[in-house]
Homo-oligomer: A and B are copies of this chain.
Amino acid sequence: MTPKQPTAALPDAPTNPVQALLEAPLSLRERKKLKTRQTIRREAYRLFTEQGYENTTVEQIAAAAEVSPSTFFRYFATKDDLVLSDEYDPAMVSALLARPADEPFLTSCREALIGLIRALLQHERQELLTRMRLVTEVPALRAGLDRSGNSPRDLYITVLTRRAGVEEPTYDMRVTAAAIGAATTEAVLQWAAGDGREDIADLVDHTFALLGSGFAGV
């Protein structure tokens, strides 16, 4: 489910940054790795906002973060991953699985999504918005958003499959996951487009109500 990372160098990457900050018994090595990762990302975002995404080379980022290009690619599989890879998937999955199995899936998604974003807002509001702004503005990133492996679609498929207790997802599960996933993306991007001023609960409620109505009004 998680975006393919160079697992050799990061065998046990923390699943959630928030979580990572809280349960802090990290070895020196792990602390350094975390710090390096953060530095790379921070410098990258700085350069992106200064001179644009396309105009910023990996070499520049590596130099700014004071690591070699080799090391850069050990931390992020691609340049896109700087923006696209997040560590929220596991949190979302457990939030979804924590909901009652007989609840309508749309409801589970709505609640899980609102909860997750609320939690994130407390810790990394600014970074979250910067990311989303980049995604909306850079076509290459917007495209990569649906890359298999880290898309909402794939996440929902996983949950639906597990919830049903089967091995392989059915076609209906895939359609459901794809449609709700696409709507989820729209909601998050809309929220980011308004610089996070819009109430996320209202937005998600509205979005999922539209889905639940079967597009009756359209």
Instruction: Point out residues on A near B: beta carbons under 8 Å.
Output: 104-106, 139, 142-149, 153, 160, 171-176, 178-183, 185-187, 190, 207, 210-216, 218
User: Are A160 and B218 in contact (CB-based, < 8 A)?
Assistant: yes
Q: What are 30 inter-chain pairs, A to B, with CB distance below 8 A?
A: A104-B216, A105-B215, A105-B218, A106-B218, A139-B149, A142-B147, A143-B143, A143-B146, A146-B146, A171-B190, A172-B210, A172-B218, A173-B218, A174-B186, A175-B183, A175-B186, A175-B207, A176-B215, A178-B182, A178-B183, A178-B186, A179-B179, A179-B180, A179-B182, A179-B183, A179-B215, A180-B215, A211-B215, A213-B214, A214-B214
| Contact with A146, one of B145, B183, B187, B211 (Cβ below 8 angstroms) | B145
Q: Which residues of chain B are within 8 angstroms of A210 by Cβ–Cβ distance? A: 172, 175-176
Q: Which residues of chain B are within 8 angstroms of A106 by Cβ–Cβ distance? A: 214-215, 218
Q: Which residues of chain B are within 8 angstroms of A143 by Cβ–Cβ distance? A: 143-144, 146-148
Besides A171-B190, A178-B185, 17 new A-B residue pairs in contact (Cβ under 8 A), listed by A number: A104-B218, A105-B215, A143-B146, A145-B146, A153-B182, A174-B186, A174-B190, A175-B207, A176-B215, A178-B182, A178-B183, A179-B182, A179-B183, A182-B182, A211-B215, A212-B215, A213-B214
Name the distance in Å between A211's Cβ and chain B's nearest Cβ. Answer: 6
Interface centre among A180, A181, A182, A185 (most CB of B within 10 A): A182
**Which 3 pairs from chain A and chain B are nearest by CB?**
A146-B146, A182-B182, A143-B147
User: Are B144 and A148 in contact (CB-based, < 8 A)?
Assistant: no
Contact of A218 with B148 at beta-carbon distance under 8 Å, contacts A153-B182, A182-B153, A182-B181 already known: no
Of all chain B residues, the one with the shortest Cβ separation from A218 is B105
